[in-house]
Amino acid sequence: MCASSAEDRYKDFFPDESREYLQKTFKSFEDDVVLEVYTEKGPHDEFNKFALNVCRAFAALTDKVEVREYSLSDEMARKREIITSPTILISPNRYDIRFLGAPSGEEGRALVEGMALASKGAEGLSETTTSLLSRIDDQREIRVFASPSCPYCPGQVINAFKAAIGNPAHVSAWCVSTQENEEMAEEYLVGSVPHTSINDIVAFVGLEPEEKFMAQLVYLKSLDEILEETGVFEDQEHEEGDAEEVDLVIIGAGPAGMSAGIYAARSGMSAVLLEKQGVGGQVALTPKVENYPGFSEVGGLQLADILSAHARIYTEIKQFVEVRDLRYGDRIEVETDSVVYRAKGVLLATGVNVRLLNVPGENRFYGQGVSYCATCDGNFYRNKKVYVVGGGNTALTDALFLRSLDAEVKIIHRRDELRAEKALQEATDKEGIEVIWNSEVLEILGETGVRGVKIRNNIDGSETELEADGVFVAIGHVANTELAEKLGVELREDGFIKVDQSQRTSVPRVYAAGDITGGVRQIVTAIGQGSVAALTAFEDFSRMKV
């Protein structure tokens, strides 16, 4: 197929906003990137087609991406030791970086970022990461199990890819989509994503900060063991990165942060948006959104993509970048791994974390039957018996989503009435989802994985053990206020940030928006607060000499 016909055929594969973002990303490539795509006709034909079309569409957008297509029967497949279809290799003559499965949803983000990293090579890595990787002189095989619906997965996949790029002679990094590779996921006892296995020796669940990931890779031990034995992080001093001047640093890329980015840029301010995980915040974890104006029904991940595509038109979103420190002064210094931003002001949109049950078995079985994200992990519990703990919107949304996956689901609630919206309660009743009222979880039971829960009836004090394959915890959230506390920001009695009607905090030039401010924690309110905060910052900066 000639270049012009390929461009015509695939020019509409991506939405306009995504295409503009991709073209901008490809322009930043330093070296050309080769994608080898391996497929075999069979039960994965739908995934094969998607993987091929995505890669072909990339190549149609830029001459810096070359796609080579092979079948699993080709000699090249044997040479590369390809084990499943589809498989995508990134610059395989330089690195062992591969996707096992079709890069849909959040996995597509990781593929694009992996290509960008491969184009820059080791020069694109931080000094700390490069230093840690230089200590590895034997083989490391990283397997990150991911799901298209998991916003945390790309960050962990990128950690693995950075390791393979930083030490290609000794590190291989595979992203394994659990959607197409169920048998491999079962072999590795994957119950939650992202699930990372290194050399089949150390395994951990969840997104890790980059340095912690690299340390575990180096020592082949969990972080707790490393700290106990070596104290590797105790006295470590970070090199101060390059300094960049900017008007507003927005920390957090949920609806509030992305809305603030749009309004900041439209006001004429320079802004940068930092996100340590994936964009979208809690929205990206919501299977279905039915209360966002303009959409009678939209997937949470889809809505997050729409918001991020819009925000990227106006401001730069730096994903998987963690803020290490904040220093207040005439300019507020925001320190990341590679850059120190010197800003007139900071907007905190860091959202919330899930609240834990704090009962025996919860930590032990996290990733082995205990989950806090039905969107990420629900697929593992098809046709299985699960309990959702909670009575709010999240709990009922999770229960409905799990029921849609044919799970046998019941809700455990400590009160005699639910707190969720009426529409969700009606949907739960319609689906025949049973609620176990006035009950609390005392313990999560099991040996190698969850086999049941022990609950107590709050009325008569009786205790009961229930058989279960999984427990989804949805009992609320706690605010991510660590950075706010570093700046001395005043908090409310419930732990959320105290703000005025203009989203100002108690510290001048520090603003907050979204779930971190408590109150009515909805998408529409977060977007409203983000826009107000950005406009307030513009107003303040116009009056101040900073």
Ramachandran class of 383: left when φ > 0, alpha when ψ lies in -120 to 50, beta otherwise: left
Half-sphere exposure of 301 (CA within 13 A, CB side): 17
d(CA 474, CA 492): 23
Residue 56 and residue 66 in contact, taking contact as beta carbons nearer than 8 Å: no
Q: Give the list of residues 6+ apart from residue 448 with CB closer than 8 angstroms, or none.
A: 189, 368
Spatial contact of 413 and 437, defined as CB atoms under 8 Å apart: yes
373 catalytic? Reply is yes
- DSSP states along 465-512: EEE-SEEEE-S-EEE--HHHHHTT--B-TTSSBP--TT-B-SSTTEEE
- Indicate the Cα dihedral angle 459, 464, 469, 470, nearest 10°: 30
Residue 142, classed as helix, strand or coil, is strand
Neighbours of 406 (CB within 10 A): 11
154 preceded by cis ω (within 30°)?
A: no
Q: Which residues does residue 370 pair with via DSSP β-bridges, in sequence order?
A: 366, 471
Cα–chain-centroid distance for residue 124? 21
- 150 is annotated as an active-site residue: no
- Asked whether 323 and 274 are in contact (CB, 8 A), the reply is yes
Instruction: Specify whether 377 is catalytic.
Output: yes
Tell me 133's DSSP state.
Answer: H
Residues 72 and 94: their CA atoms lie apart, in Å, by: 21
Angle between helical axes of 45-61 and 3-10 (0-180°, round to 10): 120
Query: The tokens of 88 are what?
Result: 């995508």
Among residues 305, 337, 377, 515, the one annotated as catalytic is 377
Q: Which residue in 96, 150, 373, 469 is the catalytic one?
A: 373
- Burial code (b: 16+ CB inside 10 Å, e: under 16) for 449-461 equals ebebbbbbeeeee
Task: Retrieve residue 483's tokens.
Answer: 């950075």
Measured between alpha carbons, how far apart are the two ends of the chain, in Å? 57
Task: Measure the CA–CA gap between 248 and 352, rounded to whole angstroms.
Answer: 22
Q: Tell me which residue of 348, 294, 356, 354 sits closest to 326, measured CA to CA.
A: 348
Query: How far is residue 55 from each of residues 47, 148, 254, 522, measured CA to CA in Å?
Result: 12, 17, 28, 36
How would you classify the pairing of strands 96-100 and 171-177?
parallel
> Computed from CA positions of residues 240, 241, 245, 250, in that sequence, does the dihedral angle turn out positive or negative?
negative
Active-site residue, selected from the candidate residues 376, 398, 469, 515: 376
SS3 6: helix
Residues designated as active site: 373, 376-377
